[in-house]
């Protein structure tokens, strides 16, 4: 998995390189925006980790250059600026995700994997969490290697949860993804699917759990 890391702080870059290499990424490291732009124009990377505070330019310029060339390579922004306004600027200009420094290396790896799992990206075929695997093309769920039968709508719900595992998926988002805007939906349809998924997963002793956060949404995570 070829990853471009744009980070000017040598020590931090070296540490990230080591950590990401351990997670299976192949890393190219560049310290300036100018070099990053040149490299991105000449090569193909699977994913880009971009620091915003670069010595020669704002990291967003690298992103702008990519998006203006219709380069859709996923970009994760690293920023020391924590205010939401900065995040909005980052995401609005075409970043796929961001992390505010300091962050856990584990979190960075998880976010990168999540970005690569997105539809159209490399890891799109199998979604894994704990002992649960979802083959997104065969629409088949396995728990501990054993196939488990679910309805297509239940699998769709599980897929959305797994794609954002460890993070909250709002009920509204599930509803709008399960049904077209025009379709009539029962107010508790999603609740019914989640309830059934949770019950079946518990029956077979899966190592993951679907949490319901009332008024907020659902979150799938490994059992503690």
Partner 1 sequence: MIRFRSVVSRIVALHIAAIVVASICMPMALYLMLRSAAGHLHERALREQAAEVSRHIRIGPDGRARLSLPTTLSEFYSGAYGRAAFSVLDTQGRVLFTSLPGGQAVAPLHPTGSPVEFFTLHRKGGDVAAATIAEEVGGRILYVQVSEDLAHRDVLIDDIVAQFFPKVGWITGPILLLLLLIDVVIFRRAMQPIVDASSLAEKIGPNRTGLRLPQASMPREVEPLVHAVNQALDRLEEGYLAQREFTADAAHELRTPLAILRTQVDMIDDRELAEALRNDVESMSRLVNQLLEMAELEAFVIGDDEIADLGAVASEIAAYIAPLALARGKTVAVTEPRRPVRVRGNSDALGRAVRNLVENALAHTAPDTSVEIVVDPSGALLVMDHGPGVPVAARDHIFRRFWRGDRRRSGSAGLGLAIVARIAEMHGATVTIGDRPGGGAVFTIRFPTLVSAPPAATAQLEPAA
Q: Which residues bind partner 1 (CB under 8 A)?
A: 9, 11-12, 15-16, 18-19, 22, 53, 78, 80-85, 100-106, 166-168, 170, 211, 213-217, 219, 221, 224
Nearer to partner 1, 67 or 160 (CB): 160
Nearest distance from C-beta of residue 151 to partner 1, angstroms: 25
Q: How far is the CB of 17 from partner 1 (least distance, A)?
A: 10
Shortest Å distance, C-beta 212 to partner 1 = 8
Our CB check for partner 1 shows the closer of 11 and 70 to be 11
Continuous segment of H or E residues that includes residue 206: none
Q: State the minimum distance, in angstroms, from the CB of residue 108 to partner 1.
A: 9
Give the count of beta carbons closer than 10 Å to the beta carbon of residue 94. Answer: 15
C-alpha 128/C-alpha 162 separation (Å) is 7
Q: Which is nearer to partner 1, 42 or 84 (CB)?
A: 84
The string of DSSP codes covering 119-188 is TTSGGGSEEEETTEEEETTTTEEEETTEEE---HHHHHHHHHHHHTTTS-B-HHHHHHHHS-TTS---TT
Element (DSSP H or E) covering residue 82: none
Q: Which residues pair with 140 in a beta bridge?
A: 135
Q: What does the block give as tokens for 35?
A: 């070099």
Least distance in Å: CB of 213 to partner 1? 5
Residue closer to partner 1, measured from CB, 82 or 152: 82
Select 127 or 155, whichever has its Cβ closest to partner 1. Answer: 127
Q: Could you tell me if 67 and 94 are in contact, meaning their C-beta atoms sit under 8 angstroms apart? A: yes
């Amino acid at each position: 998995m070829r990853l471009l890391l744009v980070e000017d702080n040598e020590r931090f870059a070296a540490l990230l390189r080591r950590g990401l290499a351990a997670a299976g990424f192949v890393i190219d490291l560049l310290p300036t925006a100018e070099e990053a732009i040149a490299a991105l124009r000449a090569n193909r990377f699977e994913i880009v980790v971009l620091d915003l505070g670069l010595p020669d330019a704002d990291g967003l310029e690298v992103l702008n250059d990519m998006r203006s060339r219709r380069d859709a390579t996923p970009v994760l922004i690293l920023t020391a600026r924590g205010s939401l306004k900065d995040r909005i600027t980052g995401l609005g200009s075409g970043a796929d995700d961001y992390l505010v420094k300091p962050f856990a290396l584990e979190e960075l790896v998880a976010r990168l994997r999540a970005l690569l799992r997105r539809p159209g990206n490399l890891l799109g075929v199998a979604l894994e969490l704990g002992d649960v695997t979802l083959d997104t093309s065969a629409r088949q769920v396995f728990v501990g290697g054993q196939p488990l039968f679910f309805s297509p709508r239940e699998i769709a719900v599980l897929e959305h949860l797994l794609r954002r595992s460890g993070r909250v998926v709002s009920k509204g988002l599930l509803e709008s993804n399960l049904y077209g805007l025009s379709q009539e939906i029962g107010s508790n349809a999603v609740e019914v699917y989640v309830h059934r998924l949770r019950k079946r997963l518990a029956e077979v002793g899966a190592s993951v759990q679907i949490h319901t956060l009332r008024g907020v949404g659902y979150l799938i995570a490994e059992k503690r």
